Amino acid sequence: MEAATSEGAALLAQLGGVLFSVETVQSTVELVTRLAEQTIPHSAGSGVTVVDSRGHRTTAASTPVVTEADALQYALESGPCLTAWAEQVPVRIDDLRQETRWPQWTAAAAELGVQSMLSVPLVTPTGSVGAMKVYSRHRNAYDHHSEEVLRLFAEQAAVLLSNMLTLTDARQLTAQLSDSLQARDLIGQAKGVLMAQGAVGEETAFALLVAASERSGIKVHDVARQLIAATVDRDAGGAHPPG
């Protein structure tokens, strides 16, 4: 246990050293995947899958065999990594040819040369955000020590990934609010233009924008933007330099 903790601490130190350079969920997942490969050496590759609150999946794999083995699970909607994520339990397969769970996946993965694997969930206080896994071309490649080391690393990686998902959600919400405010301002300016041109009241001006939107098949705020741009161009064209 002490050895596992020591190995985990070394990897977490590496993780902490690059946090400030990480800007997206995808780059974070790729970082964690690279470190996971270092966590359990002599593997055929490692992979990480993260699922956000909308069900959007972000994945990374260190080698093609991991990409293919994971793709099989997604296609079949069944497999050890999906089980680790959904049930929040570690899953270890010592010999794929002797494994009776997920028969379609194990048969196909064995054809890729995978003989054993280990997957642990990425668990946060609010639930599982995905799974981390390593594959080997040898039977019995992983033991209790391997499982404990990967689990300890996954605990901290899950916190990082969860925080990045939250940050991304916040950025998206901010962008949506900004877009909404901009659209509202554009519509307000366009209503003012129409009222200056003779539209009776804001409701009538807005109805004109909606009617134009329906005729053109573009959004109301885009109609407003075009109207404002056309008005600015017209006014600029009609201006005369002082004599």
Rounded Cα gap, residues 123 and 103, in angstroms:
26
**Residue 158 near residue 129, CB atoms below 8 Å:** yes
Residue ranges of E strands in 43-90: 45-51, 57-61
What contacts 235, CB < 8 A, 6 or more positions away? none
The DSSP element (H or E) to which 121 belongs, if any, is strand 116-124
- Give pTM, 2 decimals: 0.61
- pLDDT over 70 percentage in the chain: 78
Pick the range with the lowest mean pLDDT from 117-126, 131-140, 161-170: 161-170
Give yes or no for residue 169 having a pLDDT over 90.
no
pLDDT tens-place string over residues 35-92: 888 888 789 999 999 887 777 788 889 999 999 999 999 999 999 999 999 999 999 9
- Residue 141 has a pLDDT of 94
Distance CA 125, CA 121 (A): 13
The rounded distance, in Å, linking the Cα atoms of 237 and 194 is 19
How many whole angstroms separate alpha carbon 167 and alpha carbon 98? 43
Half-sphere exposure of 64 (CA within 13 A, CB side): 2
Which comes out higher in pLDDT, residue 169 or 99? 99
106 contacts: CB under 8 Å, gap ≥ 6: 93, 96, 97, 99
In degrees, rounded to 5, the angle at the alpha carbon of residue 84 between the alpha carbons of residues 78 and 87 is 95
- Predicted confidence (pLDDT) per residue in 182-232, tens digit: 667 777 787 887 888 877 677 777 778 778 887 888 787 787 788 788 877
- Structural domains of the chain ordered from first start: 2-168 (3.30.450.40), 176-237 (1.10.10)
pLDDT of residue 241: 38
Residue 16 has pLDDT above 60, yes or no: no
Q: What local confidence, expressed as pLDDT, does residue 77 receive?
A: 93
Triad 76, 82, 88: Cα angle to 5°: 160
Mean pLDDT of the chain: 79
Whether the pLDDT of residue 126 is over 90: the answer is no
Looking at residue 23, its pLDDT comes to 60
Contact 96, 72 (CB under 8 A): no
Contacts 24+ apart (CB under 8 A), 107-114: 108/72, 109/69, 109/72, 109/135, 112/65, 112/68, 112/69, 113/44, 113/65, 113/137, 114/44, 114/65, 114/69
Per DSSP, the three-state class of 30 is: helix
Angle between the N-to-C axes of helices 25-39 and 144-196, in degrees from 0 to 180, rounded to the nearest 10: 170
pLDDT-derived band of residue 32, with 50, 70 and 90 as boundaries? Answer: confident
